[in-house]
Amino acid sequence: MMTAIFPVVLALASCGSAPAGDKPGAPTASEADFTVTPVARFDEPWAMAFLPGTPFALVTERKGRLKLWHEDGPLREVDGVPEVAYAGQGGLGDVAPAPDFATSGTVYLTWAEPGDGGTRGAALGRARLALDGAPRLEGLQVIWRQQPKVTGDGHYSHRIAFSPDGRYLFLSSGDRQKLTPAQAMDGNLGKIVRLLPDGTPAPGNPFADKGGVAAQIWTLGHRNVLGLKFDAQGRLWDLEHGPRGGDELNLVEPGRNYGWPLVSNGDHYSGEPIPRHATRPDLAAPAISWNPVIAPGDFIFYRGDTFPAWRGQAVIAAMKPAGIVRVAIEGDRAREVARHPTRYRIREIVERDDGSVWLLEDGEEAGAGRLLRLSPGRQK
C-alpha cells in the first residue's frame, strides 16, 4: 500500500493532431489538473470490480491470479481460481459481482481456457466468493464457452455486463483474429451474446428461431470488444478495437450486424484496404470511430458528482496514446470532447459508488500495474 500522494498532471488537452472520428475537430481544452494517488501494485492487471456492500474490490491479473483489495488492509490472493491459458492476450479476464451479490456472494469471471490440439477459447464461470478466513471461490462452475475453440492467442474480448434490471448477462466474444466467424451464425465468435444468469440463452433473443448457438446471439460482426456498458438510459454500448485504425464506440441494438470484417474505418495490418462503413448503410455504423487509434481498454458512463463536467459521458481507458478519452453522447451518436494524457497505458477504469474514479495501468513487468485513485483539484 502506498499512502503518499504521487502527483500526476492530467491536462485536458488535445494529444497533438485533431482526433479522427465521425466529427473532426480538436477536443475542448481547459486548464484543469488532477491529483492521482497510487494505492497498490499488480502484475498485468486486466479488470477490477468493487463489491457492493463491502470495502473490497476484486482485481484480475492475466497470469491467473485474483486479488482481493481493501484500501485500509493488506492485498490478499483469492484461492480457487481456474487454470488459464496465459499467452498473447489470453489469461484471466473480467470479473463482475452478481446483481444479487449482497445476498448470494456470487461473482462471475472470464478467462482463456485450453482446448484440444493447441486450441483455446474464452470461458465464463460463476462461483461464491467466501470472505470468512482466507478468501476463496467456492463451487466454481463454467456456464458458457466460446464456440468453436481455435488456435491463436488474441481477441478473446470476454467482457461482462449485467442489464440494469439484473435479469440478463451480456458478454462480448471476440473474433479470435479469425475474421470471418464474426459473420457466421454457427458459432459465437465475433458476437455479443445475451444470457440468463445461469449461462443459458435468454428468451426472446433475435436469432432464437435458428436454434443451437445462434440462440445466444444478440448482435454480430464484432472484432475485439473490450468495453461493454449500459448508459443511464439503459442502452447498451460497446467499445472495440479496429484493425489498423477504426477503433469504435457502438450503440448495441438487438439483431444488428456491426460489419466486421466486411467494413471498417481502418485497414488490415498488411495495408490491404477494407471498405468503409459508409459503403454499407445496411450494416450498423459506429457512433464514433478513431483513426489513428486510441487502443481502448474498458470504459464507464460516469454518473457521480465528483467530476460534474463528466456526468453522462463515456470515459475511456486508452493505451495508445496512453490516457483517458472523454466522449459526449448525443442521441445515437458520440463526440470526443477531451483527452487526459497519462504517462502509462490505462487498461481499466472503474467508478465507485461515491463517484470516485479508479484506474489500472497496463503494467507487464512485475508490480508495474498500479491502481490509481483520481481526485479533483489542482495539484499544488
Domain positions in the chain are 34-376
CA distance 314 to 300: 6
pLDDT reported for residue 26: 38
Evaluate whether 317 touches 324 at the Cβ level (below 8 Å).
yes
pLDDT one-digit tens code per residue, 158-181: 999 999 999 999 999 999 999 999
What average pLDDT score do residues 21-34 get? 43
pLDDT reported for residue 366: 65
The DSSP code for 103 is H
pLDDT reported for residue 34: 74
DSSP string computed for 174-196: --TT-SGGGG-SSS-TTEEEEE-
CA distance 361 to 348: 7
Average pLDDT, the chain: 91
Comparing C-alpha atoms, which of 42, 34, 21 is closest to residue 91?
A: 42
Q: Is the pLDDT of residue 196 over 80?
A: yes
CA distance 298 to 211: 32
Question: pTM of the entire structure?
Answer: 0.92
Which three cell numbers mark 127? 462461483
Q: Is the pLDDT of residue 348 over 80?
A: yes
Q: What count of other Cβ atoms lies within 10 Å of the Cβ of residue 7?
A: 12
- Per-residue pLDDT band for 323 (boundaries 50, 70, 90) equals very high
Is 155 part of the annotated catalytic residue set?
yes
pLDDT reported for residue 379: 44
pLDDT one-digit tens code per residue, 353-371: 999 999 999 977 766 899 9
pLDDT one-digit tens code per residue, 261-317: 999 999 999 999 999 999 999 999 999 999 999 999 999 999 999 999 999 999 999
- Per-residue pLDDT band for 77 (boundaries 50, 70, 90) equals very high
Which of 155, 222, 241, 277 does the annotation list as catalytic?
155
What is the percentage of the chain residues whose pLDDT exceeds 90? Answer: 87
Q: Is the pLDDT of residue 88 over 80?
A: yes
Q: How far does the chain reach from its first CA to its final CA, in angstroms?
A: 23
User: In terms of pLDDT, which residue wins out, 37 or 20?
Assistant: 37
DSSP string computed for 225-264: EEEEEE-TTS-EEEEEE-SBS-EEEEEE-TT-B--TTT--
What average pLDDT score do residues 71-81 get? 94
Q: Is the pLDDT of residue 123 over 80?
A: yes
pLDDT reported for residue 281: 97
CATH architecture of 34-376: 6 Propeller (2.120)
pLDDT reported for residue 367: 64
Evaluate whether 250 touches 240 at the Cβ level (below 8 Å).
yes
- Per-residue pLDDT band for 17 (boundaries 50, 70, 90) equals very low
Longest dimension (CA), the chain: 62
The DSSP code for 133 is S
Q: What angle do CA 330, 333, 334 make, to 5 degrees?
A: 75
Which three cell numbers mark 369? 500495474
In this structure, is the dihedral angle defined by the CA atoms of residues 108, 112, 113 and 116, taken in order, positive or negative? Answer: positive
Residue entry with cell 472503474: 350
- Per-residue pLDDT band for 15 (boundaries 50, 70, 90) equals very low
What type of residue sits at position 285? A
> Of the ranges 17-26, 40-49, 328-337, which one carries the lowest mean pLDDT score?
17-26
CA distance 47 to 182: 24
